Amino acid sequence: MNKAVAWTCAALALQVAAVGWLVWRYERIVLNGTEVRIKCQAYDPYDPLRGRYLRMTVREECTNILFNVKEKHLWRGMAEKAFGKLVKMPDGSGLYRVDAIARNPADDGLWVKLESLSIEDALGYGDKKPDETYDEFRVRCDKAGFKAIVSFPDKLFLNEKIAPEAEKLLRKESDSAVAVYRAYEGRMVLTDIEIGGKPILSVVKE
């Protein structure tokens, strides 16, 4: 076997191993993870390499930031530097919300790495009261501090024939759309989308 063939075989073996590791990690999270439901919206783009998928829009805000924010613009897209703590909402809906943002898990709660993170002022110009002077508003903004805008894994791959119908259904029933995740050891994977409490595939086939 010449060197070129050997290098090709080695490269292929590494690719197979990498794919196998990703599949193993996904299945491990699905089997062992905590089920997490978060409100979402979605649309239906196309990936030429992997096929049709539903892309989720899951946007959560959190003002409980457990580290000092010096330069907020440095945190745009820096999700790899932070974790979000997920807790069940107290309204009995079974949905989760982001309760805190930290550089590392701060307690024994359900912490996950974020897909994306941006930090903004907690108050914007739209929050200014009609009878409030600019200086008064600026003082209130300084007291309010910052808020974190976070998102989570957002792609659910579907059969080519089913995806367009699923996308139409999501647009029509967006108020009842919920992204279903599994969270385990700091990671989350998207496993389903529910419409009115039912898996998207079952609703499309009805």
pLDDT in tens, 174-206: 888 899 999 999 999 888 889 888 888 788 776
pLDDT of residue 158: 76
Residue with tokens 């808020």: 147
Domain co-membership, 11 together with 93: no
Domain co-membership, 68 together with 4: no
pTM, full prediction: 0.74
Per the domain annotation, does 1 fall within a domain?
yes
Distances (CA, A) of 172 to 42, 93, 158, 167, 202: 11, 21, 18, 9, 16
Per the domain annotation, does 131 fall within a domain?
no
pLDDT of residue 18: 47
pLDDT of residue 133: 92
pLDDT of residue 21: 44
Cα–Cα distance measured from residue 30 to residue 162, given in angstroms and rounded to the nearest whole number? 23
Per the domain annotation, does 51 fall within a domain?
yes
Cα–Cα distance measured from residue 155 to residue 176, given in angstroms and rounded to the nearest whole number? 18
Domain co-membership, 113 together with 40: yes
Domain co-membership, 167 together with 199: yes
Domain co-membership, 26 together with 44: no
Q: Which range has highest mean pLDDT (13-17, 49-53, 85-89)? A: 85-89
Domain co-membership, 21 together with 75: no
Domain co-membership, 62 together with 92: yes
Q: Which range has highest mean pLDDT (27-41, 80-94, 155-169, 191-205)? A: 80-94
Cα–Cα distance measured from residue 152 to residue 150, given in angstroms and rounded to the nearest whole number? 7
pLDDT of residue 206: 63
pLDDT of residue 64: 94
In three-state secondary structure terms, 146 is: strand
Domain co-membership, 51 together with 74: yes
pLDDT in tens, 53-92: 677 788 899 999 998 887 666 566 555 678 999 999 999 9
DSSP run (H or E) holding 200 = helix 200-205
Residue 156 has pLDDT above 90, yes or no: no
Domain enclosing residue 173, as ranges: 35-120+149-205
Residue 134 burial (CB < 10 Å; 0-12/13-18/19+)?
exposed
As a whole-number percent, the residues of the chain with pLDDT over 70 amount to 76
Domain co-membership, 160 together with 88: yes
Domain count, the chain: 2
Residue 49 has pLDDT above 50, yes or no: no
Per the domain annotation, does 125 fall within a domain?
no
Domain co-membership, 186 together with 170: yes
